[in-house]
Amino acid sequence: MNCTQHFGCDVLVIGGSTAGCFAAVTVKENGLDVIVVDKACSGKAGASIMASGFWAVFNPDWGMDYDSTLDWINKNSSYLNNRTWTELFLQESWGTYLDLKAWGVKFPVPEEEMADFFRKSIIGDDKAGHHKDDPHTHYGIVPMRHRAMPPALRRYAESIGVRFLDRVMITDLIKKNDKVVGAVGFPMDEDSCYVIQSKAVVMSAGRNYFKPPGMNISGQTGDGDAMAYRAGALISGKEFPDMHMNIAKDPMWKGNGEMYPAYFQFDNALGMRIPNKGFDLSLASTIHAGYGPIIWDFDKATENDLRSIHEYLKKRGNSKEIERVGIEPGKGGQYPMIGGAAAGGCQEHTAGLWPVDIDCSSNIEGLYSAGDSCCTWMWGAIIQGPPPGLSPAAITGKRAGAGASRYAHEAAAVELTCNDISIFREHAFGYAERRSGFSPRWVIQLLQNYMMPYFVLHIKQGNRLIATLELVRFLREHMVPRMYSTGTHELRLAHEAENMAINAEMILRSSLFRTESRGWHFREDFPSEHDDEWLAWTLMQQDETGKMYVRKEPIPKEWHPETGTTYTSRWLAWEHPHNIN
Amino acid sequence: MAIQPISNEKCLGCELCIYACPVDVIRMDMSSKKAVTIYPEDCMCCALCEDECPVGAIYVSPEKHDPLMVSWR
């Protein structure tokens, strides 16, 4: 049996991307000792390294109006946003950009030119799909260069004394006396058990996906949501899906993120343009109705489109990915698309730990969450998206870091014994001790095949959700406990498979529970919004018998839409995406 | 498919690719002190290793082929 190495700190941050680094820096600035642990390498791998593009900001100096922006977000969220958090975005997002600048992140556009860039490229005479209800016309964007931010964040964090543990897979939170007091895991590069004791933990391990093709989100297996759930945390959301497409000829291509913002125009197989309205649902509905495949048609690109693509690629600085698959927009060409490049993901801030306060504290003492692990409901149900994720990750990171610091200042250290650790240690290495059973890769492959079809995650229906839930439940109960692993790589895969299965069940149960359609959650058997019942958030928790249960948390009455507004009037100026067919 | 075998001649053994990989595809060969693709089947084609490599020893193609779906494994 492997040896155990002990680490100690005031605050442990699990997941070292944007939210985790912001949290850790905040803790350190509060004078406390902090460790960031990541199963890959903070600053180099993970999702945030791909997080180029836009840092969303609200800045009145750019001509934005607070009340009208808030009103637009309320409508676009279909009144499912937590307005407190939405306003925190409006109030604090510009400050997070200033943090990045102060910490040495380089931006491709000088600050004095950003407002002009924003107006010309997003609001101006652009014909490439942006319109008056495009989200980016309501809050501003700071352009970012590919791979520029995470390394700078890490450098700054290390410069002020934040400690990092790279390539360490965390498998469980340590809980004692109903408090979270650290975490257990194992390093990828040695045969050892890591026990990290802390007074508080910030969970910032990111979203869950089912390791689908493309989008570079393969490390995102919902480990944080799953381990917090096992520890008794309330998990919220999960029913509002993400999708993303990719080109059929190279489903793993990651240049889609480079090209979409500049040329987001798609046709059905009959050559009819798919409206850029409630977009993922427009796409899924097109496929469901039998009008696929969906075509990315560069033959229809105008000169303005091509100029926009050129400018955008120049700003992002990652043209290699365009060259990698030989797409030359200027030469035209039609590219059939496949769905699910981000299958299983949920929309930003609509899935994760339930923050019981604006300090990102959870229902468990000592546990905080940030980034995509923190379900603030800042963007609600989301009609027109995708919503910003990066600057909200920074906002929640700073708030979780501050909250955890205040708690850790007051909290007494808890003494841990071998008995306290043993159950977590057994769980961490249980798959490695088995010599027979199921391959974690195969279990993950099964999960992908259960969950990924559009008719499970996007065009939902009660019987299909129940059928898929039964398969996932069987997989969780029968196959997951019988997985076996050889070496730390497969041990990590086994834990990821276990975590992904929990996330799959959460997605299915919350989707089944919400008996209406709202934003990007669409049920064929409940195709309308039901305000009487569903101006509410979903909450999930493990009961005493280990079963998952779901309940509603009503939205405060003062945030409900005005009495008498009709269903259609509350949608924005577009055709209702659910009626696309 | 996906990550190609790392050029043994070019590899400096700097380990940057190992830390760049989100899914632990690359490890060090302790005898040769070079990086090797030990779990290529798990490569997700993100190409971060290729971007990070200072000497162009790595190529990641955008094609990926998953194993056959079978009754048990």
Q: Has residue A490 got a pLDDT over 90? A: yes
Rounded CA-CA distance B6/A386 in Å is 37
Query: A252 near B45, Cβ under 8 Å?
Result: yes
pLDDT digits (tens, 9 = 90+) for A525-541: 998 889 999 999 999 99
CA distance A431 to chain B (A): 15
Whether residue B67 is contained in a domain is answered as no
Whether residue B33 is contained in a domain is answered as yes
Between A44-53, A86-95, B2-11, the lowest mean confidence (pLDDT) is in A44-53
Query: A352 near A235, Cβ under 8 Å?
Result: yes
Whether residue B71 is contained in a domain is answered as no
Tell me what pLDDT residue A125 has.
Answer: 45
Residues of B in contact with A216 (CB under 8 A): 22, 44, 46, 48
Query: A181 near A57, Cβ under 8 Å?
Result: no
Per-residue pLDDT band for A214 (boundaries 50, 70, 90) equals: low
Label the pairing between strands A367-369 and A200-203: parallel
Q: How much is the average pLDDT of A316-340?
A: 79
Q: Which of A348, A362, A370 is nearest to A13 (CA)?
A: A370
Q: Is the peptide bond before A150 cis (omega within 30 degrees of 0)?
A: no
Q: How much is the average pLDDT of A437-458?
A: 94
**ipTM score assigned to the predicted complex:** 0.97
Rounded CA-CA distance A568/A117 in Å is 34
CA distance A442 to chain B (A): 6
> What is the number of domains present in chain B?
1
Tell me what pLDDT residue A120 has.
Answer: 66
- The size of chain B, in residues, is 73
Specify the higher pLDDT residue, A506 or A132. Answer: A506
Per-residue pLDDT band for B18 (boundaries 50, 70, 90) equals: very high
Q: Check CB contact under 8 Å for B69 and A449.
A: yes
A518 Cβ contact partners less than 8 Å away, ≥ 6 residues apart: A78, A80, A381, A529, A534
Does B66 contact chain A (CB < 8 Å)? yes
Between A111-115, A243-247, A435-439, A484-488, the lowest mean confidence (pLDDT) is in A243-247
Specify the higher pLDDT residue, A383 or B53. Answer: B53
Q: Check CB contact under 8 Å for A321 and B72.
A: no
Residues of B in contact with A45 (CB under 8 A): 19-22, 48
Q: How much is the average pLDDT of A99-105?
A: 95
Q: From B39, which residue of chain A is nearest by alpha-carbon distance?
A: A489
Residues of A in contact with B51 (CB under 8 A): 147, 320
Q: Has residue A219 got a pLDDT over 80? A: no
Q: Has residue A576 got a pLDDT over 80? A: no
In terms of Cβ atoms closer than 10 Å to its own Cβ (0-12, 13-18, 19+), residue A450 is buried
Report the residue from A50, A147, A489 with minimal CB separation from B39: A489
Report the residue from B20, B39, B41 with minimal CB separation from A45: B20
3-class secondary-structure state, position A129: coil
pTM: 0.95
Whether residue B54 is contained in a domain is answered as yes
Q: How much is the average pLDDT of A100-112?
A: 92
What residues make up the domain containing B44?
1-61
Q: How many Cβ atoms from other residues are within 10 Å of residue A409's Cβ?
A: 13
Tell me what pLDDT residue A126 has.
Answer: 45
Q: Which of A77, A95, A103, A97 is nearest to A141 (CA)?
A: A97
Q: Has residue A66 got a pLDDT over 60? A: yes
Mean pLDDT of chain A: 89
Q: Check CB contact under 8 Å for A442 and B2.
A: no
pLDDT digits (tens, 9 = 90+) for A329-377: 888 899 999 888 778 888 889 999 999 999 999 999 999 999 999 999 9
Q: What percent of chain A has pLDDT over 90?
A: 63
Residues of B in contact with A44 (CB under 8 A): 16, 19-20, 48, 52
Per-residue pLDDT band for A310 (boundaries 50, 70, 90) equals: confident
Report the residue from A218, A324, A445 with minimal CB separation from B22: A218
Report the residue from B16, B23, B46 with minimal CB separation from A254: B46
Specify the higher pLDDT residue, A129 or A256. Answer: A256
Tokens of residue B17, six digits: 């690719």
Rounded CA-CA distance A391/A190 in Å is 36
Report the residue from B41, B46, B72 with minimal CB separation from A216: B46
Q: From B63, which residue of chain A is nearest by alpha-carbon distance?
A: A250
Specify the higher pLDDT residue, A29 or A138. Answer: A29
Tokens of residue A324, six digits: 């990698």
Per-residue pLDDT band for A27 (boundaries 50, 70, 90) equals: very high
- The size of chain A, in residues, is 581
Q: Has residue A213 got a pLDDT over 80? A: no
Tell me what pLDDT residue A127 has.
Answer: 45
Between A219-223, A274-278, B2-6, B35-39, the lowest mean confidence (pLDDT) is in A274-278
Q: How much is the average pLDDT of A274-301?
A: 85
Tell me what pLDDT residue A217 has.
Answer: 63
Rounded CA-CA distance A346/A45 in Å is 21
Q: How much is the average pLDDT of A84-94?
A: 97
Rounded CA-CA distance B44/B28 in Å is 19
Tokens of residue A117, six digits: 């860039």
Label the pairing between strands A168-176 and A179-187: antiparallel
Tell me what pLDDT residue A118 has.
Answer: 73
Q: In A149-228, at which residue ranges do the beta strands (DSSP E only) sit? A: 163-165, 168-176, 179-187, 192-197, 200-203
Whether residue B73 is contained in a domain is answered as no
CA distance A81 to chain B (A): 32
Rounded CA-CA distance A198/A437 in Å is 35
Q: Which of A382, A81, A351, A408 is nearest to A234 (CA)?
A: A351
Q: Check CB contact under 8 Å for B19 and A250.
A: no
Q: Is the peptide bond before A355 cis (omega within 30 degrees of 0)?
A: no
Whether residue B47 is contained in a domain is answered as yes
Tokens of residue A499, six digits: 């975590």
Tell me what pLDDT residue A203 has.
Answer: 98
Q: Has residue B8 got a pLDDT over 70? A: yes
pLDDT digits (tens, 9 = 90+) for A506-524: 999 999 999 999 988 999 9
Tell me what pLDDT residue A130 has.
Answer: 47
Q: Check CB contact under 8 Å for A252 and B66.
A: no
Tell me what pLDDT residue A124 has.
Answer: 46
Q: Check CB contact under 8 Å for B44 and A218.
A: yes
pLDDT digits (tens, 9 = 90+) for A228-264: 999 999 999 999 998 778 888 888 777 776 677 677 7
Residues of B in contact with A321 (CB under 8 A): 47
CA distance A154 to chain B (A): 13
The residue among B14, B17, B23 with the most chain A CBs within 10 A of its CB, best to mutate, is B23
Whether residue B50 is contained in a domain is answered as yes
Rounded CA-CA distance A172/A175 in Å is 9
Question: What order do you get walking across the sheet with A536-542 strand by strand?
Answer: A351-353, A235-237, A536-542, A548-554
Tell me what pLDDT residue A278 has.
Answer: 64
Tell me what pLDDT residue A121 has.
Answer: 61
Tell me what pLDDT residue A128 has.
Answer: 42
Rounded CA-CA distance A432/A428 in Å is 9
CATH code, domain with B38: 3.30.70.20
CA distance B48 to chain A (A): 7
Q: What percent of chain B has pLDDT over 70?
A: 99
Amino acid at A170: I
Query: A336 near A293, Cβ under 8 Å?
Result: yes
The two most distant CA atoms of chain B are separated, in Å, by 43
The residue among A252, A254, A438, A471 with the most chain B CBs within 10 A of its CB, best to mutate, is A252
